[in-house]
Amino acid sequence: MMEKSSEIRRNVEAVQEQIGRAAAEAGRDPSEIRLMAVTKTQSAARVNEAIAAGVTLLGENRAQELLEKYDGYDRAGCGIHFIGHLQSNKVRSIVDKVSMIESVDRLSLAQEISRCAQLHGLVMPVLIEVNIGREQSKSGVLPEALPELLGKVSLLPGLSVRGLMAIPPNIEDTVQKEGYFEQMYRHFIDMKAKKLDNVSMTILSMGMSHDYPLAIRHGSNVVRIGRALFGERM
Protein backbone atom coordinates (compact mmCIF):
# COMPACT_ATOMS: atom_id res chain seq x y z
CA MET A 1 0.00 0.00 0.00
CA MET A 2 2.74 2.47 1.00
CA GLU A 3 4.64 1.65 -2.14
CA LYS A 4 1.58 2.24 -4.33
CA SER A 5 0.92 5.56 -2.61
CA SER A 6 4.37 6.92 -3.22
CA GLU A 7 4.11 5.63 -6.77
CA ILE A 8 1.10 7.88 -7.39
CA ARG A 9 3.01 10.82 -5.95
CA ARG A 10 5.99 10.08 -8.17
CA ASN A 11 3.70 9.83 -11.18
CA VAL A 12 2.02 13.17 -10.42
CA GLU A 13 5.44 14.79 -10.17
CA ALA A 14 6.65 13.15 -13.38
CA VAL A 15 3.56 14.23 -15.33
CA GLN A 16 3.81 17.79 -13.99
CA GLU A 17 7.44 17.86 -15.09
CA GLN A 18 6.50 16.62 -18.57
CA ILE A 19 3.78 19.28 -18.78
CA GLY A 20 6.37 21.89 -17.88
CA ARG A 21 8.77 20.60 -20.51
CA ALA A 22 6.12 20.46 -23.26
CA ALA A 23 4.95 23.97 -22.36
CA ALA A 24 8.50 25.33 -22.45
CA GLU A 25 9.12 23.72 -25.85
CA ALA A 26 5.96 25.36 -27.16
CA GLY A 27 6.93 28.71 -25.66
CA ARG A 28 3.97 28.58 -23.31
CA ASP A 29 3.66 29.35 -19.61
CA PRO A 30 3.27 25.98 -17.80
CA SER A 31 0.89 27.56 -15.31
CA GLU A 32 -1.69 27.95 -18.13
CA ILE A 33 -2.02 24.17 -18.34
CA ARG A 34 -4.14 22.28 -15.86
CA LEU A 35 -3.54 18.67 -14.94
CA MET A 36 -6.73 16.66 -14.48
CA ALA A 37 -6.60 13.27 -12.76
CA VAL A 38 -9.08 10.95 -14.49
CA THR A 39 -10.39 8.73 -11.73
CA LYS A 40 -12.32 5.95 -13.47
CA THR A 41 -12.00 2.58 -11.70
CA GLN A 42 -9.72 4.11 -9.01
CA SER A 43 -10.73 4.00 -5.34
CA ALA A 44 -11.34 7.26 -3.48
CA ALA A 45 -8.25 6.45 -1.37
CA ARG A 46 -6.02 6.31 -4.44
CA VAL A 47 -7.57 9.47 -5.85
CA ASN A 48 -6.87 11.17 -2.51
CA GLU A 49 -3.20 10.21 -2.89
CA ALA A 50 -3.14 12.17 -6.14
CA ILE A 51 -4.83 15.12 -4.43
CA ALA A 52 -2.27 14.96 -1.59
CA ALA A 53 0.45 15.08 -4.28
CA GLY A 54 -0.92 18.34 -5.66
CA VAL A 55 -3.72 17.46 -8.09
CA THR A 56 -6.48 20.09 -7.97
CA LEU A 57 -8.82 18.77 -10.67
CA LEU A 58 -10.59 15.41 -11.03
CA GLY A 59 -12.26 14.00 -14.13
CA GLU A 60 -15.29 11.72 -13.78
CA ASN A 61 -16.68 9.49 -16.52
CA ARG A 62 -19.74 7.92 -14.97
CA ALA A 63 -22.45 9.52 -12.86
CA GLN A 64 -22.94 6.40 -10.74
CA GLU A 65 -19.23 6.03 -10.00
CA LEU A 66 -18.99 9.71 -9.04
CA LEU A 67 -21.92 9.40 -6.63
CA GLU A 68 -20.35 6.34 -5.01
CA LYS A 69 -16.95 7.97 -4.47
CA TYR A 70 -17.92 11.63 -3.98
CA ASP A 71 -18.08 11.61 -0.18
CA GLY A 72 -14.78 9.74 0.03
CA TYR A 73 -12.83 12.38 -1.88
CA ASP A 74 -10.75 14.99 -0.02
CA ARG A 75 -12.30 17.52 -2.33
CA ALA A 76 -11.70 20.82 -0.54
CA GLY A 77 -9.90 22.99 -3.10
CA CYS A 78 -10.38 20.38 -5.81
CA GLY A 79 -12.55 20.88 -8.90
CA ILE A 80 -14.50 18.01 -10.45
CA HIS A 81 -15.22 17.93 -14.18
CA PHE A 82 -17.63 15.47 -15.73
CA ILE A 83 -15.96 14.11 -18.90
CA GLY A 84 -17.95 11.00 -19.90
CA HIS A 85 -20.98 10.43 -22.06
CA LEU A 86 -23.88 11.84 -20.07
CA GLN A 87 -27.48 10.69 -20.26
CA SER A 88 -29.97 13.49 -19.68
CA ASN A 89 -31.68 11.56 -16.87
CA LYS A 90 -28.38 11.54 -14.89
CA VAL A 91 -27.82 15.30 -15.00
CA ARG A 92 -29.96 15.96 -11.95
CA SER A 93 -27.84 13.66 -9.76
CA ILE A 94 -24.49 15.31 -10.57
CA VAL A 95 -25.28 18.96 -11.25
CA ASP A 96 -24.55 20.11 -7.69
CA LYS A 97 -21.39 17.96 -7.42
CA VAL A 98 -19.32 18.99 -10.44
CA SER A 99 -17.68 22.29 -11.31
CA MET A 100 -17.85 21.75 -15.07
CA ILE A 101 -19.43 19.39 -17.61
CA GLU A 102 -17.01 18.86 -20.52
CA SER A 103 -19.11 16.46 -22.58
CA VAL A 104 -22.00 18.54 -23.94
CA ASP A 105 -22.65 17.18 -27.43
CA ARG A 106 -26.34 17.81 -28.09
CA LEU A 107 -28.94 20.48 -27.44
CA SER A 108 -31.26 18.23 -25.40
CA LEU A 109 -28.46 17.53 -22.92
CA ALA A 110 -27.57 21.22 -22.68
CA GLN A 111 -31.22 22.08 -22.04
CA GLU A 112 -31.41 19.58 -19.18
CA ILE A 113 -28.15 20.88 -17.66
CA SER A 114 -29.49 24.43 -17.86
CA ARG A 115 -32.80 23.43 -16.26
CA CYS A 116 -31.20 21.48 -13.39
CA ALA A 117 -28.56 24.14 -12.74
CA GLN A 118 -31.24 26.79 -12.46
CA LEU A 119 -33.12 24.67 -9.92
CA HIS A 120 -29.96 24.85 -7.79
CA GLY A 121 -29.44 28.55 -8.47
CA LEU A 122 -26.30 27.71 -10.47
CA VAL A 123 -24.81 28.60 -13.81
CA MET A 124 -22.92 25.47 -14.92
CA PRO A 125 -19.71 25.97 -16.90
CA VAL A 126 -19.64 23.56 -19.87
CA LEU A 127 -17.45 22.58 -22.79
CA ILE A 128 -18.75 21.39 -26.14
CA GLU A 129 -17.35 17.97 -27.02
CA VAL A 130 -16.30 17.64 -30.67
CA ASN A 131 -16.06 14.26 -32.41
CA ILE A 132 -12.95 15.35 -34.26
CA GLY A 133 -12.19 11.90 -35.68
CA ARG A 134 -15.79 11.40 -36.87
CA GLU A 135 -15.89 8.05 -35.06
CA GLN A 136 -19.21 6.18 -34.83
CA SER A 137 -18.21 4.84 -31.41
CA LYS A 138 -17.53 8.26 -29.89
CA SER A 139 -19.70 11.00 -28.49
CA GLY A 140 -19.30 14.59 -29.58
CA VAL A 141 -20.81 16.90 -32.14
CA LEU A 142 -19.44 16.63 -35.68
CA PRO A 143 -17.20 19.59 -36.53
CA GLU A 144 -19.58 20.99 -39.19
CA ALA A 145 -22.45 21.02 -36.67
CA LEU A 146 -20.40 22.80 -33.99
CA PRO A 147 -21.27 26.44 -34.87
CA GLU A 148 -25.02 25.80 -34.83
CA LEU A 149 -24.92 23.81 -31.57
CA LEU A 150 -22.71 26.43 -29.92
CA GLY A 151 -25.10 29.19 -30.99
CA LYS A 152 -28.12 27.40 -29.52
CA VAL A 153 -26.40 26.29 -26.31
CA SER A 154 -25.11 29.81 -25.68
CA LEU A 155 -28.70 31.06 -25.36
CA LEU A 156 -29.51 28.82 -22.38
CA PRO A 157 -29.60 30.68 -19.06
CA GLY A 158 -28.39 27.95 -16.68
CA LEU A 159 -25.04 27.25 -18.30
CA SER A 160 -22.05 29.09 -19.65
CA VAL A 161 -19.85 27.75 -22.47
CA ARG A 162 -16.14 27.95 -21.63
CA GLY A 163 -14.54 26.04 -24.49
CA LEU A 164 -14.13 22.77 -26.36
CA MET A 165 -13.17 19.20 -25.52
CA ALA A 166 -12.10 16.31 -27.76
CA ILE A 167 -10.98 12.70 -27.61
CA PRO A 168 -9.15 12.12 -30.91
CA PRO A 169 -8.87 8.61 -32.36
CA ASN A 170 -6.56 6.33 -30.43
CA ILE A 171 -3.81 6.00 -33.01
CA GLU A 172 -0.03 5.65 -32.81
CA ASP A 173 0.73 7.78 -35.87
CA THR A 174 2.02 11.06 -34.46
CA VAL A 175 1.51 13.05 -37.66
CA GLN A 176 -2.11 11.95 -37.96
CA LYS A 177 -2.71 12.59 -34.24
CA GLU A 178 -1.16 16.02 -34.61
CA GLY A 179 -3.60 16.71 -37.45
CA TYR A 180 -6.54 16.16 -35.09
CA PHE A 181 -5.08 18.43 -32.42
CA GLU A 182 -4.42 21.11 -35.05
CA GLN A 183 -7.99 20.88 -36.30
CA MET A 184 -9.30 21.23 -32.75
CA TYR A 185 -7.14 24.28 -32.15
CA ARG A 186 -8.49 25.83 -35.35
CA HIS A 187 -12.10 25.20 -34.28
CA PHE A 188 -11.29 26.70 -30.89
CA ILE A 189 -9.91 29.88 -32.51
CA ASP A 190 -12.83 30.08 -34.98
CA MET A 191 -15.44 29.72 -32.23
CA LYS A 192 -13.63 32.27 -30.06
CA ALA A 193 -13.68 34.72 -32.98
CA LYS A 194 -17.49 34.60 -33.04
CA LYS A 195 -17.51 36.49 -29.71
CA LEU A 196 -20.93 35.12 -28.80
CA ASP A 197 -22.70 36.47 -25.73
CA ASN A 198 -22.49 34.11 -22.75
CA VAL A 199 -19.56 32.24 -24.35
CA SER A 200 -16.03 32.59 -23.07
CA MET A 201 -13.84 30.39 -25.29
CA THR A 202 -10.91 29.92 -22.95
CA ILE A 203 -10.59 26.17 -22.34
CA LEU A 204 -9.33 23.59 -24.81
CA SER A 205 -9.42 20.17 -23.13
CA MET A 206 -7.41 17.58 -25.03
CA GLY A 207 -4.53 15.19 -24.40
CA MET A 208 -4.45 11.94 -22.43
CA SER A 209 -1.68 9.73 -20.98
CA HIS A 210 -0.15 8.74 -24.30
CA ASP A 211 -0.38 12.07 -26.13
CA TYR A 212 -0.58 15.04 -23.74
CA PRO A 213 2.81 16.61 -24.65
CA LEU A 214 1.64 16.73 -28.27
CA ALA A 215 -1.72 18.22 -27.25
CA ILE A 216 0.08 20.92 -25.24
CA ARG A 217 2.11 21.81 -28.31
CA HIS A 218 -1.21 22.42 -30.07
CA GLY A 219 -2.83 24.69 -27.53
CA SER A 220 -4.43 22.35 -24.99
CA ASN A 221 -4.83 23.89 -21.54
CA VAL A 222 -6.51 20.97 -19.76
CA VAL A 223 -4.86 17.54 -20.03
CA ARG A 224 -6.91 14.59 -18.80
CA ILE A 225 -4.62 11.91 -17.39
CA GLY A 226 -5.58 8.50 -16.02
CA ARG A 227 -3.05 5.71 -16.57
CA ALA A 228 0.09 7.85 -16.38
CA LEU A 229 -0.95 8.74 -12.81
CA PHE A 230 -2.63 5.59 -11.52
CA GLY A 231 -1.17 2.83 -13.72
CA GLU A 232 -3.08 0.52 -16.05
CA ARG A 233 -6.74 0.14 -15.19
CA MET A 234 -7.85 -3.22 -13.76
Ligand X SMILES: *Cc1c(COP(=O)(O)O)cnc(C)c1O
Site of interaction with ligand X (CB under 6 A): 38, 40, 61, 83-84, 167, 208-209, 224-228
| CB nearer ligand X, residue 81 or residue 158 | 81
Q: Are 99 and 80 in contact (CB under 8 A)?
A: yes
Closest distance of CB 72 from ligand X, Å: 20
| CB nearer ligand X, residue 4 or residue 227 | 227
| CB nearer ligand X, residue 138 or residue 187 | 138
> For the CA atoms of the chain, what is the radius of gyration?
17
Closest distance of CB 38 from ligand X, Å: 4
> How many other C-beta atoms can be found within 10 angstroms of the C-beta atom of residue 148?
11
Bridge pairing between strands 159-166 and 124-130:
parallel
Residues 155, 74: Cα–Cα separation, whole Å: 35
| CB nearer ligand X, residue 194 or residue 227 | 227
Closest distance of CB 224 from ligand X, Å: 4
Closest distance of CB 189 from ligand X, Å: 22
| CB nearer ligand X, residue 146 or residue 158 | 146
| CB nearer ligand X, residue 102 or residue 112 | 102
Q: Are 36 and 225 in contact (CB under 8 A)?
A: yes
Measured CA to CA in angstroms, residue 194 lies from 23, 42, 141, 186, 233 at distances of: 27, 40, 18, 13, 40
Closest distance of CB 37 from ligand X, Å: 9
Closest distance of CB 121 from ligand X, Å: 28
- Over the range 19-28, which residues count as b (16 or more CB within 10 Å of their CB) and which as e? beebbeebeb
Residues 67, 63: Cα–Cα separation, whole Å: 6
Q: Is the dihedral of CA 58, 107, 142, 32 positive or negative?
A: negative
Report the residue number whose CB is nearest to ligand X.
Answer: 226
